[in-house]
Amino acid sequence: MGVIGDLPFSMEEYRLRQDRFLSQNKEDTLVLIPTNSVQTRSNDTSYPFRANSYMLYLCGWSEPEAIFMGFQDSGSWKSCLFVRPRDTRAEIWEGRRVGIEGALEYWPIDEAYSIDDMDKIIQNKISNSNSISTIEGFNKELDILIKKSNLEIFDARDILDDLRVIKSEEEIKIMHDAAILASNAHIEAIKKTYPEIGEWEIQSVIESHFSANQSCPSYSSIVGGGDNATILHYNSNNMKISDGDLVLVDAGCEISGYASDITRTWPVNGKFSDAQKEIYNLVLDAEKAAIEACVVGSTWSSMHHASSKVLAKGLIDLGILECNLAEALGENFDGPYRNFFMHGTGHMLGLDVHDVGGGRQGDKGPERLLSPGMVLTIEPGLYFAGWRSDIEIPEKYSGIGIRIEDDVLVTDEGPVILTSSCPKEISEIESLVGEMIE
């Protein structure tokens, strides 16, 4: 993206998204959707820029400091972009800009202006509007301008999130590509694993695979060996992994802004111990049960309930929980099984790795029902942290952390696992570990 004319979707697809969004606003509403700004990393250097997902969704604009504007003109909606104008001096340091003319010629918009003129032009549009639909918190200057207007303000996400949650065929194709690329990266990492390997070395195999394919991580890769796997957002990735330990790798990539998100757990010496096998198979059974629950019409939480029931029963069968199933689950799925499975079973996936639209419709609305075109992750896990002193863990399970995560597309024909090329059966994994080590 950012190469002139090289957008990930057809003009028709962007125009359709814009029409679906703009037509749900009142005709006297001014729509203003800002993108992100560049963030300082240290002194005068910046983090790599990544455009706001709403901007990418509406028009694929990937440069910073832009604003998408929608307004009604003679009964039809017009879409415009405020962009950074061409500037040779700035481009010498920061990279080439598309500019106003480039935006007009190659992007799915009707009008383009310099961001330097936004104050004047937006003030004028405000004076002809009765309300504003926007997303606050991304552009301070715009937020101030909007507040000063004293117009009624709507949160544009209330409409946009419902649109983004259902993926089009073009989006699903890109997400499938991202899923396959991340699967291949995991397979290469499994093949290159050996006892005493550094967590950072596995990270390097995975992320090299992404960059070699013009992709990048969609979130900070998690590579946790042994007890580190019990820290849910561990990403120090700086320890060696002992012979006999498992490694949990949660890593995904981004293609054209769309994320994949995979977790696999494997023994660095290529052989699961009996205790590791017991927990692994339990998590795998829970994952399969949750995937089966990803059917059209199910509530959002049905997949979490499915995995929770399998895990709670398994914890009882293994003697880790000493109670009956109802007690283990608790009245609201908040029983003692949550000591070992403390996160949700999945989240929506899309332009954001934790994509919009999960859980409830709106802040207090009813639970969302699964519909064709939704993509979500399924990722149950069990964690027996040797470093915790607040719960009792049988010694043989201490230091085991296992999560298995796939990306699942909901269809009328049932769940489709986009990451199905990434092996997860014990026999498959055992035969792959170390295959590329001489």
Q: Which residues are catalytic?
A: 44, 233, 250, 261, 343, 347, 354, 379, 383, 403, 405
CB of 305 to Mn ion, least distance (A): 18
Q: What whole-number distance in Å separates Cα of residue 416 and Cα of residue 34?
A: 34
Size of the site for ligand GLY (CB under 6 A): 6
Q: Which is closer to ligand GLY, CB of 33 or CB of 376? A: 376
- Measured at the alpha carbon of residue 111, what is the angle toward residues 106 and 116, in degrees to the nearest 5? 105
Partner touching 287 among ligand GLY, Mn ion, none, CB below 5 to 8 Å by kind: none
Whether the Cβ atoms of residue 368 and residue 360 lie closer than 8 Å to each other: yes
Indicate if the alpha-carbon torsion angle 164, 168, 173, 179 is positive or negative.
Answer: positive
Q: What whole-number distance in Å separates Cα of residue 268 and Cα of residue 85?
A: 52
Per-residue CA distances from 304 to 4, 121, 159, 241, 404 (Å)? 43, 48, 26, 31, 14
Q: What whole-number distance in Å separates Cα of residue 406 and Cα of residue 183?
A: 10
Whether the Cβ atoms of residue 10 and residue 170 lie closer than 8 Å to each other: yes
Mark residues 398-417: x for contact with ligand GLY by CB under 6 A, - for none. -------x------------
Task: Note whether 250 binds Mn ion by CB under 5 A.
Answer: yes
Task: Note whether 203 binds Mn ion by CB under 5 A.
Answer: no
How many alpha carbons lie under 13 Å from residue 17 in its C-beta half-sphere? Answer: 25
Mark residues 382-411: x for contact with Mn ion by CB under 5 A, - for none. -----------------------x------
Partner touching 188 among Mn ion, ligand GLY, none, CB below 5 to 8 Å by kind: none
Q: Which is closer to ligand GLY, CB of 60 or CB of 380? A: 380
Partner touching 194 among ligand GLY, Mn ion, none, CB below 5 to 8 Å by kind: none
> Exactly one of 199, 207, 245, 250 binds ligand GLY (CB under 6 A); which one?
250
Residue 299 per-residue DSSP state: B
Q: Which is closer to ligand GLY, CB of 161 or CB of 405? A: 405
> Exactly one of 125, 219, 373, 396 binds ligand GLY (CB under 6 A); which one?
219
CB of 224 to ligand GLY, least distance (A): 12
Tell me the residue number closest to ligand GLY, measured at CB. 250
Mark residues 340-379: x for contact with Mn ion by CB under 5 A, - for none. -------------------------------------x--
Partner touching 177 among Mn ion, ligand GLY, none, CB below 5 to 8 Å by kind: none
Q: Which is closer to ligand GLY, CB of 207 or CB of 379? A: 379
| Structural element, H or E, at residue 155 | strand 152-155
Total residues belonging to the chain:
438
Q: What whole-number distance in Å separates Cα of residue 297 and Cα of residue 197?
A: 45
Q: Which residues contact 79 (CB under 8 A, 6 or more apart)?
A: 18, 22, 58, 59, 68, 69, 70, 108, 109, 110, 111
> Exactly one of 177, 245, 379, 430 binds ligand GLY (CB under 6 A); which one?
379
Residues in region 256-285 near ligand GLY by CB under 6 A: 261
- In the chain, % helix, strand, coil (3-state, to 5) comes to 35, 20, 45
> Exactly one of 261, 287, 352, 406 binds Mn ion (CB under 5 A); which one?
261
Q: Which residues contact 127 (CB under 8 A, 6 or more apart)?
A: none
DSSP assignment of 222-247 equals EEEEGGGGGSTT-----SB--TT-EE
Q: Which is closer to ligand GLY, CB of 344 or CB of 373? A: 344
Partner touching 406 among Mn ion, ligand GLY, none, CB below 5 to 8 Å by kind: none
Task: Note whether 218 binds Mn ion by CB under 5 A.
Answer: no
Q: What whole-number distance in Å separates Cα of residue 83 and Cα of residue 80?
A: 10
Partner touching 219 among ligand GLY, Mn ion, none, CB below 5 to 8 Å by kind: ligand GLY
DSSP assignment of 305-328 equals HHHHHHHHHHHHHTTSS-S-HHHH
CB of 223 to ligand GLY, least distance (A): 12
Residues in region 341-360 near ligand GLY by CB under 6 A: 347
Q: Which is closer to Mn ion, CB of 330 or CB of 344? A: 344
Q: In the complex, which residues of this chain contact ligand GLY (CB under 6 A)?
A: 219, 250, 261, 347, 379, 405
Q: In the complex, which residues of this chain contact Mn ion (CB under 5 A)?
A: 250, 261, 263, 377, 405
